[in-house]
Structure 1
Amino acid sequence: MSKIIVMASFHPKKDKANEVKEIILSMIKPTRSEEGNELYNFYEEKNKDDKIISFHLFEIYKNSAALDFHRETTHYKDYRSKIEDLLEKPREVKVLNSIDSI
């Protein structure tokens, strides 16, 4: 089975960046403690005025079952219920299957 890579992008509404950031930060510890999670990194993108314009998650899971498990956790469902109304547009998520990676 190949590893599953998830890349997710979030574009917060004006003045909602801190709320979005806090919600995603609350996901880090419980997600990293999941048995099938191998990587869960959180990034922010700023404009030339040093204002946050988007957030990005880069995740690696052992296999598709590990990703399925993640999506059934309480912390994942809680984050999903809170974050959508704070975003300018729907979150962008790409789920990739590893072909050749280290």
Structure 2
Amino acid sequence: MTIEVIATLQARPERESDVEAALRVLLTHSRKEPGIRRYDLYRDSTRPTTFHLIEAYADEAALEAHRESAHYLRYREQAGDWLMAAPMVAVLDPVAVARGE
């Protein structure tokens, strides 16, 4: 069963471009992982220092593999001080989802 996650990160204003650059590197590597179905980055349209990652994993093993990957751990170490607070992460259970073909 696919596991879907939304992570919300708020950059310190003076580090906004650094956070975006680090997230783009994370995206590039994460999208190459075999168990990742989706890994997309959005900027909040009303709060430009807030970013949202929308992620989908093939299963729990794929999510755990991502969390243990070198590029994810490197990002966390690098960007931790650039954020206003710890990321808010929500693992979602589908209720009513439309799937495109």
> With structure 1 as the length reference, what TM-score do the two structures score?
0.87
- Aligned residue for 1:37? 36
CA contact (8 A) 2:12 2:49 kept: no
- Aligned residue for 2:53? 57
Structure 1 residue 6: Cα displacement: 1.0
CA RMSD of aligned residues (A): 1.5
> Could you give the per-residue CA deviations for residues 39-74 of structure 1, whole angstroms, max 9, x where no partner exists?
011000143xxx723001000000010001111110
- Aligned residue for 1:78? 74
User: Taking structure 1 as reference, are residues 100 and 65 closer, same or farther at Cα in structure 2, changes over 3 Å only?
Assistant: farther
- In the alignment, the residues of structure 2 paired with residue 84 and residue 46 of structure 1 have an alpha-carbon distance, to the nearest angstrom, of 23
CA contact (8 A) 2:42 2:53 kept: yes
- Aligned residue for 2:65? 69
Gaps of 5+ in 2: none
Structure 1 residue 98: Cα displacement: 4.0
Gaps of 5+ in 1: none
- In the alignment, the residues of structure 1 paired with residue 61 and residue 95 of structure 2 have an alpha-carbon distance, to the nearest angstrom, of 17
What is the identity, as a one-letter code, of the residue corresponding to 1:54?
A: T
What is the identity, as a one-letter code, of the residue corresponding to 2:2?
A: K
> Percent identical across equivalent pairs?
30
CA contact (8 A) 2:44 2:50 kept: yes
> Could you give the per-residue CA deviations for residues 11-65 of structure 1, whole angstroms, max 9, x where no partner exists?
1112110010011000112111110000011000143xxx723001000000010
- Aligned residue for 1:92? 88
